[in-house]
Amino acid sequence: FDEPAYFVLATRGCPFVCTYCYNNYFVNTYNNGVDRPRKLRYRSVDSVLDEIKQRTQRYPFLKHVSFSDDDFFARKLPDLEYFAKRYKAEVGLTWGCSAIPASISQEKLELLIDCGMATVQIGIQSGSDRLNREIYKRFLPMRKVQEHLRILETFAIPKGVRVTADFII
């Protein structure tokens, strides 16, 4: 977006530990001997919305909110329902986020578009299952990626949501 935006972090971490990503470094560095390190940490929806409201009231020139989370769609549906209801009523600005294809569903997408989602950035990385699996340690088959991209094509693009994709070349 070319409009002034406020960037906010609602979650930290990622459900994956891909070799190219800084999350892999953090999980391996701060594991502290735990077999299953905590990969995702969520801020409460109330905390995130309070921050956004405070900043957009203080800086009324802000016209867009950008969630800097690695995968905004990773939240459970009840959390997203609560977020969508409050965001639409209390903030109302367009917003964007990043997502991993596996976490995108029609239900989440329709809910988030209705409350103002205008952009979504998708991490695909490679069209090669072998490269994703063996080199990037990203265990998400391309057929699943394609299924979720079809959901975006069907429900997001007709609503005017701008979809961008990341590839490692």
pLDDT tens per residue across span 4-57: 999 999 998 777 777 777 666 666 666 655 555 556 789 999 999 999 999 999
AA letter at 25: Y
**Greatest CA separation found in the chain?**
49
What is the residue-averaged pLDDT of the chain?
89
DSSP assignment of 81-149, as one string?
HHHHHHHHHHT--EEEEEE-GGG--HHHHHHHHHTTEEEEEEEEE-S-HHIIIIIS-----HHHHHHHH
Highest-confidence segment of 10-19, 68-77, 79-88: 79-88
* 73: three-class secondary structure by DSSP: helix
Using CA atoms, how far apart are residues 164 and 81, in angstroms rounded to an integer? 24
